[in-house]
Amino acid sequence: MIAQRVCFVAASAVHCYASDGSNYTTINFASASNANPRALKASNGSLFFKADAPYGYAGELGVVYRSDPPFTTATLLSVPNSGSVPPPSPPVAPGTVPGGDGCDNVVGFRTMAIAFLFITSLPVLLTSVTIWSKLRIPSMSFATFCGVSAVVINVYALIDPAGSVADIFIRWWFFAFSTAWLVVYVVLKLQNRIDLTTFRWAVDVGCIAYVASMHAIVHVPFTTDWWRWVIYQFTMLLPMVILALVSTNTTTGLPTFLVGLAIFVDAWKITIEMRSFMTSDPTFQTFITFAFLGGIGFVIIFAAMSYNKYKDAITQAVDRFAATFVPMRKPFKTLNEEAIQMS
């Protein structure tokens, strides 16, 4: 508040209007455009504020301007060490698109993407694939997944350096790639063509990417659209149940944990919708929430204990299913013999 006016910064400009709303002005920067004003201070009837310098970079603190009533123009108070302000740059030709320096423009960003592609992404991918194929190190499945994704994202950055649809592309890439990744490893597991340690590493990295991208696509648990919650059951709960059954005889517990998480999220949504129909009292609604979610928690714990108790029976059932319906299945003893020979 200064001189019966209220001044504020909005849309990279300083605006002032009379307290009764009868007059409105915007301070014009004669010596600089896009000055990015900030840090307003009123003193002795004048308005002082900081902004970017019109003569080049002047540090993060910027320079100081002063504006006096009627607050339509601003005077630059800070000057360079030379004691004079250089003339402003000549105007660009009509239709010219101003470019940035270094990585701020399209050419610089593409150069950076190419550098990352050939210095980081491709070497990591080739190294992980080579070590995985030659030494059979299970953790290389994780490095291979990350390497492929890094290469794809680098290629996208070369095609669309502005990143106009980067968020959509990344979400759907990880969803599609992790889905194909998990399907391939489930089939290999049912065919007995992969060792259990490699399967654990592959499933863990695939589950993390799949679940993260799937939640980003369907917007659960933040959405209120009922059809997104229906899709969630078929894209989260059902696939994780299948993975948990296939992974019964392995050391990975991530699919089982994600099944419990999906059930808990569903229970939370049902509780939120149910309590609004039962009562409007906030205290009673809170009690219903804790009681229902607590009961679901006990059910999840009991289901996990039962799953652990009947792991052998589940493994045998999965093996019988694979022996009946999965083609080109390898005898399990042959897989064990190969593992012994490699060790």
The DSSP code for 31 is: S
More confident residue, 104 or 214: 214
Q: What average pLDDT score do residues 107-131 get?
A: 89
8 Å CB contact between 54 and 32:
yes
- State residue 334's pLDDT score: 47
Q: What average pLDDT score do residues 192-209 get?
A: 94
Q: Give the C-alpha separation, 68 to 25, whole Å.
A: 12
Min mean pLDDT across 1-10, 62-71, 84-93 is at 84-93
Q: Give the C-alpha separation, 67 to 70, whole Å.
A: 8
- State residue 87's pLDDT score: 52
Q: What is the dihedral of CA 307, 308, 314, 316, to 10 degrees?
A: -170
Check: pTM over 0.75? Answer yes or no. no
Q: Name the band, by pLDDT with cuts 50, 70 and 90, for residue 203.
A: very high
More confident residue, 84 or 7: 7
- State residue 24's pLDDT score: 77
Q: Which residues pair with 76 in a beta bridge?
A: 65
Half-sphere exposure of 259 (CA within 13 A, CB side): 19
More confident residue, 339 or 141: 141
Percent of the chain with pLDDT over 70: 82
Q: What average pLDDT score do residues 174-189 get?
A: 96
8 Å CB contact between 182 and 208:
no
- State residue 102's pLDDT score: 43
Q: What is the pLDDT of residues 17-60, one digit of tens each?
A: 776 766 778 887 655 556 778 878 888 888 888 887 776 555 55
- State residue 48's pLDDT score: 87
Q: Name the band, by pLDDT with cuts 50, 70 and 90, for residue 74.
A: confident
Q: What is the pLDDT of residues 205-263, one digit of tens each?
A: 999 999 999 999 999 988 889 999 999 999 999 999 999 999 998 888 999 999 999 99
Q: Give the C-alpha separation, 143 to 149, whole Å.
A: 10
Q: Name the band, by pLDDT with cuts 50, 70 and 90, for residue 91.
A: low
Q: Name the band, by pLDDT with cuts 50, 70 and 90, for residue 100.
A: very low
The DSSP code for 191 is: T
More confident residue, 183 or 342: 183
Take residue 122 and report the two structure tokens written for it.
């491709």
Percent of the chain with pLDDT over 90: 41
- State residue 239's pLDDT score: 96
Min mean pLDDT across 82-86, 168-172, 242-246 is at 82-86
Q: Give the C-alpha separation, 168 to 170, whole Å.
A: 6
- State residue 302's pLDDT score: 92
DSSP output for 207-267: HHHHHHHHHHHH-TTT---HHHHHHHIIIIIHHHHHHHHHTTTSS--HHHHHHHHHHHHHH
Residue environment code for 121-134, b if the CB has 16+ CB neighbours within 10 A, otherwise e: beebbeebeeebee
The residue ranges of every structural domain in the chain are 5-76, 210-328
User: Is the model's pLDDT at 333 over the cut of 60?
Assistant: no
- State residue 101's pLDDT score: 45
More confident residue, 179 or 11: 179
